[in-house]
Amino acid sequence: MRITKKEWDAFIQGGGALKEGLDDAARSDPIRQVPAAAFRMHSDIKALSKLRTTAADGNDPFVPEFIDVFFAYLTDSPDAALALRDAHTNAAHRSEPVDKFLGPLTPDQIKALHASREKFFGTPASPKPLEDAVSNAKAVLDEAFKKAFELLKQHIPEAIPVASEVDSSAPGTTFNEKAPHIMRNLIRDFGFTENQAAGILGNLGHETGGFTLFQELRPRSGRGGFGWAQWTGGRRLEFEKFCRDNGFDQKSDEGNYGFLRHEMKNTSERKVVDALKATTTLEKAVEAFERVFERAGVVALTSRITWGRRALAAFRAPPTAGTGGGVAGGAGGTVVQQLESLIAANKIRFDEPRLKQELLRANSGLKISPKLQALVLKLVALVKPTEHLRISSLVRASAGHHGAGRAVDIGNQEIARDFLPQFATPAKVAALGIDELIYNAGGLDAARPQKFNFNDGAPFPRFDDRTMADHLDHIHVSVKA
Ligand SMILES: [Zn+2]
């Protein structure tokens, strides 16, 4: 850890609750430097956002990317980071020397930058091309994220975001959605108890970061592990052959569950079944499956048990109405309070500030119906952790559902692919009290642009051309009351 005196002083000055009880002497303590580093990043992000957000942006401020924050750190200047960002958007600039785009820095600062960060910026005599500076910085960032992810996976797996690239035709894409389904299959196929099945899921969750990783990140040798159980060596080759022979994608649930079952029924690995059946607790089941079946290089039993507990909890949780998990800020409170905390967390955004008042039913004039308000809360829960819901219209002075305060337009239609399949079904539409659902999904499925559409609560793939043309850039949802 390398916190400079200047950074530490800024932290002690402005670090709020984070710096409580810390003084100058604490700077030499690596652990105490962590909040100081976080504060530095936080300050840079704020500065970058402030530089780029105009009054017209309202409550949708500029959010810098990690590369911008990193450049703000490297150059010690948020201004310079934005200058590099802007230059890099122009392909013609990328082969030019990076110095050309460090305008916000003084000549002395540029000189000092070359002296301390030659790897990224080259030397004064031979500055790197802009493209090299950016791609080097990105490579360093990627490597740092990979290392951080490995450490998280090992020590605090529950902190790993569950945005996965798993086959989306599977029942659910997150660990909490997939684990109960896989457990039911294991119980059906092998007669395991809940604890025994959860013991297997604990291992699979650990190996794949909760089904977010198929390929082992940093294999010690060879091609590394692949698939749910991170099969290596000969077992990996068998897995690949099994998928080939049966026509399964190697990332599919069918392929992975099929091979797991095949190994546990038809190969020497079947000894794990008896070993598991001799266990009576989750912890023992996790340990037995690791020892007999995974035989992992890195055991990390604590992490495996943590994933096992998550699987068991998800398996035992009562089914909820269409949501795959909790909502940030949905811990309690009235609908309005929950919406307010989601707005504060940027999970709900608005094209215009007045829409926020309308959603909270704090506007003058016609208010949206309480059922529509409650529906928005339920819909946000279906948005992936990395995404948000952007409202582009609520109340309108017109006939129809908007004029009655019963319709919402969702402007960030790019979430449609993951978002709509979760509730555009007759059962979910009925449970949510939805009347109309209109979206032109031609960009996702050219043959069935009306596949998600409902009218009067029933599938309705017959909206006219004009309506379909109007719903290319937003998703319209209305409630019955
Ligand atoms: Zn609409």
* Statement: residue 79 has pLDDT above 80: yes
Q: Which domains does the chain have, with CATH numbers?
A: 5-147 (1.10.530), 175-316 (1.10.530.10), 335-479 (3.30.1380)
What average pLDDT score do residues 145-162 get?
A: 67
- What lies within 8 Å, CB to CB, of 379 at 6+ separation is 389, 410, 419, 423, 477
User: Which tokens is 434 given?
Assistant: 């939805």
Res. 473: pLDDT tops 90:
yes
Residue of higher predicted confidence among 125 and 276: 276
Give 123 or 215, the one with higher predicted confidence: 123
Q: Average the pLDDT over 315-339 and give the result.
A: 57
User: In the predicted model, what is the mean pLDDT of residues 314-326?
Assistant: 54
Q: What is the pLDDT of residue 170?
A: 40
According to the model, what pLDDT value does residue 323 have?
A: 36
Res 271 pLDDT > 90: yes
Q: Please, is 109 exposed, middle or buried when counting C-beta atoms within 10 Å of its C-beta (0-12, 13-18, 19+)?
A: middle
In this prediction, residue 160 has a pLDDT band, given cuts at 50, 70 and 90, of: low
Give yes or no for residue 186 having a pLDDT over 70. Answer: yes
Give me ligand 1 centre to Cα 320, in Å: 27
The tokens of 137 are what? 């910085």
Residue-level pLDDT at 379: 96
Separation of CA 329 and ligand 1 centre (Å): 27
Cα of 302 vs centre of ligand 1, distance in Å, is: 49
Q: Tell me how far the alpha carbon of residue 407 lies from the centroid of ligand 1, in angstroms.
A: 6
Write out pLDDT tens, residues 353-388. 999 999 999 998 899 999 999 999 999 999 988 889
d(CA 202, CA 279): 15
CA 17–ligand 1 middle distance (angstroms): 44
Instruction: Place 224 in a pLDDT band, splitting at 50, 70 and 90.
Output: confident
Distance 333 CA to ligand 1 centre (A): 28
Q: DSSP string of 163-217? A: ---S-TTSS-SSHHHHHHHHHHHHHHHH---HHHHHHHHHHHHHHHTTTT-SB-S
| Ligand 1: centre distance to CA 207 (Å) | 44
Provide, rounded to the nearest whole percent, the portion of the chain with pLDDT above 70. 89
Residue 457: helix, strand or coil by DSSP?
A: coil
Beta bridge partners of 407: 478
In angstroms, what is the span from residue 387 Cα to ligand 1's centroid? Answer: 21
CA of 394 to the centre of ligand 1 (A): 8
Q: In this predicted model, what pLDDT tens digit does every residue of 396-436 receive, in sequence order?
A: 988 889 999 999 999 999 999 999 999 999 999 999 999 99
Give the mean pLDDT of 116-140.
87
Average pLDDT (454-480) is 94
Give the Å distance between the CA of 168 and the centre of ligand 1: 28
The residue that leads in pLDDT, 136 or 447, is 447
Q: Tell me the CA–centroid distance for residue 469 and ligand 1, in Å.
A: 12
Per-residue pLDDT reduced to its tens digit, 195-223: 999 999 999 999 888 888 877 776 666 77
Three-state secondary structure call for residue 54: coil
Q: How far is the CA of 62 from the centre of ligand 1 (A)?
A: 27
Between the CA of 390 and the centroid of ligand 1 the distance, in Å, is 13
Q: For residue 476, how far is its CA from the centre of ligand 1 (angstroms)?
A: 4
- Mean pLDDT confidence for 109-134: 88
* Residue 196: predicted pLDDT: 97
Which range (52-66, 124-138, 230-244, 461-475) has the least confidence? 52-66
Summary count for the chain: helices (H), strands (E):
21, 7
Q: How far is CA 432 from the centre of its chain?
A: 25
Per-residue pLDDT tens digits for 40-63: 888 888 888 888 777 666 556 677
Q: Answer yes or no: are the C-beta atoms of 359 and 391 closer than 8 Å.
A: yes
Q: Is the pLDDT of residue 467 over 60?
A: yes
Work out the average pLDDT over 227-241: 92
Distance 332 CA to ligand 1 centre (A): 29
Predicted pLDDT at 471: 95
Q: Would you say residue 284 has pLDDT above 80? A: yes
Q: Is 94 helix (H, G, I), strand (E, B) or coil?
A: coil
Q: How far is the CA of 338 from the centre of ligand 1 (A)?
A: 24
CA 358 to ligand 1 center in whole angstroms: 15
Please tell me the distance between residue 294's alpha carbon and the centre of ligand 1 in angstroms. 52
Dist CA 232 CA 133 (whole Å): 37
Q: How far apart are CA 62 and CA 441, in angstroms?
A: 29
- C-alpha 471 to ligand 1 mean position (Å): 8
* Mean pLDDT score across all residues of the chain: 85
